[in-house]
């Protein structure tokens, strides 16, 4: 395995795998506990609108996806809370409109978008140094936010109604949590793509939730599981010449199936 690190692109790929595991482990824990996996999937598809906007404006698509995805996440939260549209309806709207906006922007962009496929299905082997820097900064933002609002996130994750009763601004905290999901989606886009993001957000936390209910321990174990299985998936994709994002997801799914069977 050591010989693959002689390639610079593989070094960047493994660094990216470690960085995305941090976002997955932390935010994915809240996603699984609060049961907003489907909503996270909608946010990930909405991110494609930001990718299209980036191509249209001629800027880094990942950077363009950051504000677009955060606004989309806040938008769907507002629709659900204020307009009283059912959550599954809001998810369907966000899911389809985000993808449609991305396609329209790409159609309006002169020329051809050569690496568009990588944003849909991931291409960790093409991660650049600037992508890694963006991932690192976003990870630090996520860590700092969770550190500052740990108690509030814990409260709305386990008992949102009680949080409202004691006067906690639950709607604002929920919007902040959705913004963290949006940032995590941006971190993951280059690794597994818009289509497969939901797997990396949900599966590591789902695996470790079988062994502990302590939130801090769950986060740490989820980060560790993410690092282990994304690295294994990346290595297998290199050895067998397979799509990296899909291989990582399959390794995660297999790990979940094995741990679930062993716990039964």
More confident residue, 185 or 81: 185
CA dihedral 26, 30, 36, 39 (to 10 degrees): -40
- Rounded mean pLDDT, 152-171: 85
pTM reported for the whole predicted model: 0.89
Helix axes 61-82, 170-209, angle to 10 degrees: 110
- Rounded mean pLDDT, 238-246: 88
Enter the DSSP assignment of 7.
S
Q: Tokens for 214?
A: 């302590």
Dihedrals phi, psi of 39, to nearest 5 degrees: -65, -40
Q: Which CATH architecture has domain 2-257?
A: Orthogonal Bundle (1.10)
- Answer whether 132's CB lies under 8 Å from 152's CB: no
Is the pLDDT at 72 greater than 90? The verdict is no
Residue in 254, 230, 181 with CA at minimum distance from that of residue 20: 230
pLDDT for 91-117, tens place per residue? 788 888 888 999 899 888 887 766 677
Q: For the chain, give the mean pLDDT.
A: 87
Q: What span, in angstroms and rounded, lies between the C-alpha atoms of 231 and 242?
A: 14
Exposed / middle / buried, residue 165 (Cβ in 10 Å: 0-12, 13-18, 19+): exposed
- In three-state secondary structure terms, 212 is coil
169: left (phi over 0), alpha (psi -120 to 50) or beta: beta
């Amino acid at each position: 395995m050591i010989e693959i690190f002689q390639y610079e692109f593989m070094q960047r790929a493994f660094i990216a795998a470690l960085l995305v595991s941090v976002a997955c482990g932390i935010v994915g824990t809240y996603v699984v506990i609060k049961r907003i996996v489907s909503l996270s999937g909608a946010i990930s598809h909405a991110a494609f609108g930001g990718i299209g906007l980036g191509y249209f404006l001629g800027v880094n698509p990942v950077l363009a996806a950051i504000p677009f995805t955060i606004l989309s996440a806040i938008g769907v939260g507002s629709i659900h809370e204020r307009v009283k549209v059912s959550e599954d309806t809001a998810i369907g709207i966000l899911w389809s409109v985000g993808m449609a906006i991305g396609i329209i922007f790409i159609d309006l962009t002169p020329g051809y978008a050569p690496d568009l496929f990588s944003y849909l299905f991931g291409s960790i082997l093409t991660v650049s140094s600037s992508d890694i820097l963006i991932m690192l900064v976003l990870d630090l933002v996520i860590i700092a936010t969770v550190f500052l609002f740990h108690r509030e996130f814990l409260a709305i994750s386990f008992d949102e109604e009680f949080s409202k009763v004691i006067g906690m601004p639950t709607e604002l905290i929920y919007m902040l949590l959705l913004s963290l999901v949006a940032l995590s989606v941006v971190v993951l886009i280059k690794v597994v793509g818009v289509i497969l993001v939901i797997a990396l957000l949900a599966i590591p936390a789902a695996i470790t939730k079988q062994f502990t209910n302590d939130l801090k321990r769950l986060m740490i174990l989820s980060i560790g599981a993410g690092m282990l299985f994304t690295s294994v998936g990346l290595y297998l994709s290199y050895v067998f010449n397979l799509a990296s994002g899909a291989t990582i997801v399959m390794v995660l799914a297999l790990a979940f199936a094995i741990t679930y069977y062993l716990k039964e």
